[in-house]
Structure 1
């Protein structure tokens, strides 16, 4: 049984010794390692070693009747996988069982090719062993295929010529196409799943998590292999969400500062600025053209900010802005706040970039909604709210020119805003931050407002706003009066103009109830006025002097009091007069208001 022993040497690095009870007769030098071996086990498995040893034997044939102990020396400076792989190949030649794995099978396959360890030369040789392992184990799993593909980076171009890389790529693509497309929503938020044992511990794993664990090793690939794999995935027309998530995770892993939530750079092989720029442009160029999900929209804005920092090519930035524009309705205000990195821009945020993105959105919106022009689109309304919020955020920038503010505010169509309150707020902030804006420029900026879309609260504020030009205030007062008139009248006729929605129906119903209440109150007032007039006539008749000096009036009043169950004072009640008239002489009138309390 052969045993292996590693020793250190001061002159030639390290050495491996195979102890079988026989002295070694060949030294194989690979990199800085010397392997002291025996020629017969090596020659039995490797045709190349057999030929090299035979050549040395021919060159050093001893004279007749002279016995010389021959030691051979071979040196491999370009052995695939280096000394570690040669050690495994040598052990295989000695009959030692080696453990194949996705990480070392490509190295051993290339070593077998290099040493010509074919099946024709010797049965059950290294090439057939590794080929069987590749077919029956590695290519049955996406994760194992990616690990083997990663190992091929150090075996070029031999691994490519042997087809190992292409077999791994084909395996990944074939198995990815059979996966459920609903499992590509990484990162995983589902908490339900099954329990499995991993690294000695029990963990709960969801189906989506298992899908991601299959692809997790893709983050370790170098850029050339990653691009080659992406090219194959796109050629096979795989689910675009899978490609997007691979790009997103790969970029977050290797591009520094891509995410605002995690500014600490992760370990990456792309350390230089040139490598970062190359990676960034590769990720952008491989993005699918289809619209994406909300998480990827935030990722796209991160790419855009990084492309400005790294000064990426104009083509990449234009493609990125166009893709962002096609799904601008999924963005947030924080996404739009892109810092200005150019010395030519005086503003704090890159307003020009937002204008270009908005232009791409409007063009794509017009192309997709040609048949519904004038209708209110949910996506368009979301973008309207987003732009108004952005205007409010940048309005306080002292370097923002009136023309740029106006152009961005006027760029949206009328149907993008249901109400103009948010836009009015942005205009007010701009006037407050720019007190030296001329009257003509103020009137021009106020022209972006549709005063009919201001709510009553906004109109009330605008009517008292000293920062607005006089003409705008007059118009606000005019529309405020119209709104008040409509609110009082109930605007029932407006319900027939095609307005839809639960809010409008509730408003019309409330107005109808209010009118019924007002009609009921008006009827009650008329009834009280008639009763008051009747009581006034009765009181006047009571106060008339009777035939016995007025005594009849007292008895009549007593009878009337008993009849009505109350005592009447000789006062005149007039519902049309603001005061109470006292008919008794000599009593001053202290009541200034009249309240009617019907019994």
Structure 2
């Protein structure tokens, strides 16, 4: 061989091949260009490939093709690699008249529908090692399309495809490794392909899932596969691979719709992802899926440890994000029944986080005010949470305590909670005054708008009884309790005097009501002497309300 026709080819630093440049260049446009440039030189030429697809073993197949007059055995186990190598070496022309390698691999690809399930998997595993170059050719797309058809077809049938005829349309699935009894179960029929696809790269899994979705494949089954994929890959995956898996799984679950995903599984993904540096986009989508279904959560789900335990023990900021996503575009868009479920859940959460010594007052108040007031029928739980919070945070000033108390609706306190608050020294004095004002508003409402159903024997007897009961509890008892609680400062003396004035006003209302009762009884007796008792029930229509 003449010296200047020898060509050394260094393939990815793995191995050096010495080939006849004339033979290889007759099939490879890339080598031909180099050979033409070096013709006439008397020294040996050397070519270095740093990114040859398939490595040294695949380059050897290319040389065999060239030395064998353009013939090579193309099968599912080398088709993907030969495709990439053929286009890399620009083997789309043939000097000898035989079909070029690019054309041969394209013709072989037409036989993919006859491949077995195992052959499809082997070809796809080779493709993932050739990414992203393989995406430019039809090999990957056709392999994925064929695989997805096999999956969808098998899940639509009543049993797993038969393995007795492996060459009939390629329906030889890997059913031989599974028990016959298990295949009779629907779940087994729907999930037989899960384990086979675990070895594939996240990029290929994403393409497969998107193809399944486009074919209206059952979203629940896709969801189960994604969770199975994550669980199976995690033990042996590196940190970087785990991040890729989490981001891919979250992205695909988000595209399926939140209702297709088991709610408990979302929290499982969340607990894993908080320990990793996943992208902010991934975090937002995961938090959105959880928050939009917050009424399905339990207290244990929300008790997530804070990543910054110096600030607070529990991740309060994350729960506030959940609430934001739950409310969505506005409170008016959320059914009241769902709001009340979340309100009950948040009351339990407040009781759990209240003893946290690191929880700031404004952050605690934000948890209370995150939901509208009408979502709660009672504020007793909030009061108990505040009581715990003030007990642990005894160093708060009166002003700081009052800021937190703004989240408490005193009108929604039960009589037991109200009585407890009246004697609770942990609460600021002004808070107790606000509570009394709220109770006085209730009293005023009862005095001004009594229910007609409360009148029985006389126009105002039951009304007075109802008013008197409210007055006895909310005025006489509570005013005395608060008066004892106040100190001797000028401001509190003024408040005490004002409360006493309110007490006298109640007594005046009581006196007016008694006089009105006497007048109405006399009026009824004078107008209806013989039927006074019978007509007394209609008298409330003439009774003015105060």
Category of TM-score, reference length = shorter chain:
0.5 to 0.7
1:509-548 aligned at under 5 Å gives the runs: none
3-state DSSP of counterpart to 1:335: helix
- Contact residue 324 and residue 357 of structure 1 kept, 8 A: yes
2:246 maps to 1:267: no
The one of 368, 393, 401 aligned to 1:434: 393
**Structure 2 counterpart of 1:134:** 112
Q: TM-score, normalised by structure 1?
A: 0.50
Secondary structure of 2:145's counterpart equals: helix
Q: Secondary structure at the match of 2:182?
A: strand
Question: What is the rounded CA distance, in whole Å, between the counterparts of 1:222 and 1:131 in structure 2?
Answer: 22
Cα gap change, 1:202 to 1:465, in 2 (>3 Å): farther
- Equivalent residue of 2:326, what SS? helix
Q: Structure 2: how far apart are the matches of 1:177 and 1:200?
A: 19
Deviation at 1:175, TM superposition (A): 5.4
- Alignment partner for residue 392 of structure 1, among 329, 351, 355? 351
In the alignment, the residues of structure 2 paired with residue 199 and residue 228 of structure 1 have an alpha-carbon distance, to the nearest angstrom, of 26
Would you say 1:332 and 2:332 are equivalent positions? no
3-state secondary structure, aligned to 1:412 = coil
2:129 counterpart (154, 159, 162): 154
Contact 2:27 2:93 in 1 (8 A): yes
* 1:166 correspondence with 2:153: no
Could you say if the C-alpha distance between residues 197 and 401 of structure 1 is closer, same or farther in structure 2, counting changes exceeding 3 Å? closer
Structure 1 CA distance, aligned partners of 2:178 and 2:341?
Answer: 49
**Superposed CA RMSD:** 5.6
Match of 1:312 in 2: 279
Which of the numbers 262, 287, 302 marks the counterpart of 1:295?
Answer: 262
For residues 463 and 144 of structure 1, what CA distance do their matches in structure 2 show? Answer: 79
Distance (whole Å) between structure 1 residues aligned to residue 222 and residue 179 of structure 2: 32
* Aligned partners of 2:299 and 2:348 also within 8 Å: yes
**Equivalent in the alignment of 2:365:** 406
Deviations 1:450-482 (A, max 9, x none): 456556776676676554456649959997xx9
2:289 corresponds in structure 1 to: 323
Aligned residue pairs, count: 399
Against the structure 1 CA distance between its residues 312 and 107, is the aligned structure 2 distance closer, same or farther, given a 3 Å change threshold? closer
User: Where do 1:9-408 residues align within 5 Å?
Assistant: 81=54, 106-107=80-81, 121=98, 127=105, 130-131=108-109, 133-138=111-116, 145=120, 147-156=122-131, 159-174=134-149, 198-199=176-177, 204-205=182-183, 206-230=185-209, 232=211, 240-241=219-220, 244-245=223-224, 247-253=226-232, 266-268=235-237, 270-272=238-240, 277=243, 280-286=246-252, 287-288=254-255, 290-293=257-260, 295-296=262-263, 298-299=265-266, 302-303=269-270, 306=273, 309-310=276-277, 312-313=279-280, 315-342=281-308, 346-364=311-329, 366=331, 368-369=333-334, 376-377=336-337, 379-408=338-367
- Given that 1:251 and 1:283 are in contact with CA atoms closer than 8 Å, whether structure 2 keeps it comes out as yes
Between the aligned partners of 1:493 and 1:444, the Cα distance in structure 2 is 41
* Cα distance in structure 2, aligned partners of 1:207 and 1:428: 54
Over 3 Å counting, the alpha-carbon distance change for 1:213 and 1:302 in structure 2 is same
Aligned to 2:491: none
Query: 1:177–1:337: structure 2 CA closer, same or farther, 3 Å change rule?
Result: same
CA contact (8 A) 2:120 2:147 kept: yes
Q: Rate the CA distance shift 1:386–1:84 in 2: closer, same or farther, 3 A.
A: same
TM-score of the two chains, using structure 2 as the length reference = 0.54
Normalized per residue, which structure has more strand? 1
Aligned residue number for residue 13 of structure 1: none
Distance 2:122 2:194 in 1: 10
Contact 1:309 1:341 in 2 (8 A): no
Contact 1:462 1:473 in 2 (8 A): no
CA distance 1:144–1:446, shift in 2 (3 Å): farther
Cα distance change, pair 476–425 in 1 and its aligned pair in 2 (3 A): farther
Shift of 1:109: 6.2
Offset from partner CA, 1:476-512 (integer Å, 9 cap, x none): 9997xx9xxxxxxxx9969xxxxxxxxxxxxxxxxxx
CA distance in 1 between counterparts of 2:452 and 2:276 reads 58
Quick one: structure 1 residues 327 and 33, their matched pair in 2 at CA, closer, same or farther if it must change by over 3 Å? same
Quote how far apart the aligned CAs of 1:279 are.
5.4
Deviation at 1:390, TM superposition (A): 1.8
Quick one: distance in 2 between partners of 1:249 and 1:367? Answer: 38
**Structure-2 separation of matches of 1:229 and 1:361:** 31
Structure number, greater radius of gyration: 1
